Structure 1
Amino acid sequence: MTTRTKQPAPVTTTRIRRPEDVEELAGFDEHPGRGRFNSAFFWVMGGYINWHMHTRKSAAFADLPPTVVELGAGVGANMRYLPVDARLVAIEPNRHMHTRLRRAARSHGVDLQIRGVVGERIDLPDTSADAVISSLVLCSVSNPDAVLAEIRRVLRPGGRFSFAEHVAAERGTPTRWTQRIVRRPWAWIFEGCSCERDLAGVIQSAGFTSVDLSHYRIHSPFLPFNTHIAGTAIA
């Protein structure tokens, strides 16, 4: 199912956020065991996860500009979708990901800059980015609305936010029931990841001028993870 929404351009005045101006938001809850586990898990399982998501990611991340900001760049799974000789500004607060992220950048010939900050406080100037991407990230941030506000702030007018995220299944389905049952251990293991977020609704109500997204399902043994959206929103 594909959903397209058109909205009037928001009339807002933005500025660079400075630490003294920002309302206190939850930061990254660093846990040495979980941090290392997730770095290793996504390094080992990255190919398998990408195999399931490749078609939708290829469409969402097509024709990216030379410089891209990525939220939750992890171990570099999305570098394969960047243009040749790309520059990547990686927003990645889990420092245990950084070594593998740098290794992936060298392998793909990507000029990498790592910013160890959370998505609620992106340390980039207003209207400074042509494109922001994310995959399997908005499920785990502390405040998705704040993250999307930051994405809109850093995007230039007409810039794009392209995403591939897993979301809550429809109510009353076995997948939704499983998501509810495993939500606490799942969130603990995967650093706050929620299986029950309506991220399509969050993105569509975030004030973008247009949103084009599709709902789809993958078929993997990780049942709570199998309901997804992918698409692009224009600032």
Structure 2
Amino acid sequence: MKEIPSQSVDAVVSTLVLCSADGLQKTFKEIQRVLVPGGKFFFMEHVIDTSLSAIKIAQIIFGSLGIAQFLLDGCRPDKDIKKELEIGGFASVDVRRFRLDLKELPLAHSGTYLIQPHIYGTATTFK
């Protein structure tokens, strides 16, 4: 976002991309740079499962070994994006957790079990 002037946009939106971003804190600082004071960052992302489940174990294995990055366009399913947002330097963060119903996806997308659960919400910059 180097081309975007500082404090020049009211909102930034991300959907299912932060899993592939290197250095989330650096990404959040850049988002904060371009947002006007009181600007909003709207997000919907998949995150690591919080329960000790087969999904979480698979997320850790596939993420740490680099398998998911190779198969899923750089995705790291083991990232705790919610936690990173909460320590990301925003004035406030409102996060909701949910699970998508993926039963209707074709078998070609069977790796989608790695991208559960999801979060959505807003992070607001300081005024």
Task: Indicate if the aligned counterparts of 1:219 and 1:226 stay in contact, CA closer than 8 A.
Answer: no
Task: Indicate if the aligned counterparts of 2:4 and 2:34 stay in contact, CA closer than 8 A.
Answer: yes
Quote the residue 2:123 is aligned against: 233
Task: Indicate if the aligned counterparts of 1:159 and 1:234 stay in contact, CA closer than 8 A.
Answer: yes
Task: Indicate if the aligned counterparts of 2:55 and 2:114 stay in contact, CA closer than 8 A.
Answer: yes
Question: In angstroms, what is the RMSD of aligned CA positions?
Answer: 1.4
- Ranges in structure 1 where 5+ consecutive residues have no aligned partner: 1-120
Letter in 2 for 1:216: F
Quote the residue 2:107 is aligned against: none
1:199 matched to 2:81? yes
Task: Report the count of equivalent residues.
Answer: 115
SS at 1:192 equivalent: coil
Residues of 1 paired with 2:61 and 2:88: CA distance?
A: 29
The 5 Å alignment of 1:143-154 reads 143-154=23-34
Residues of 2 paired with 1:213 and 1:171: CA distance?
A: 17
Normalization by structure 2: what TM-score? Answer: 0.83
Residues of 1 paired with 2:51 and 2:116: CA distance?
A: 14
Quote the residue 1:215 is aligned against: 97
Residues of 1 paired with 2:81 and 2:98: CA distance?
A: 13
Residues of 2 paired with 1:231 and 1:161: CA distance?
A: 8
Which structure would you say has the larger Rg? 1
Give the 3 Å change call, closer, same or farther, for CA 122–135 of structure 1 in structure 2: farther
Letter in 2 for 1:196: D
Letter in 2 for 1:202: E
**Residue identity (%):** 35
Residues of 2 paired with 1:137 and 1:149: CA distance?
A: 16
2:38 to 158, 179, 183: 158
2:5 to 107, 125, 131: 125
SS at 1:149 equivalent: helix
SS at 1:134 equivalent: strand
1:173 matched to 2:53? yes
- Deviation string for 1:151-204 (max 9, x for gaps)? 001000011100000000125211101212333221112232100111111111
SS at 1:177 equivalent: helix
SS at 1:180 equivalent: helix
Task: Indicate if the aligned counterparts of 1:160 and 1:233 stay in contact, CA closer than 8 A.
Answer: yes
SS at 2:20 equivalent: coil
- Deviation string for 1:137-157 (max 9, x for gaps)? 110011111010000010000
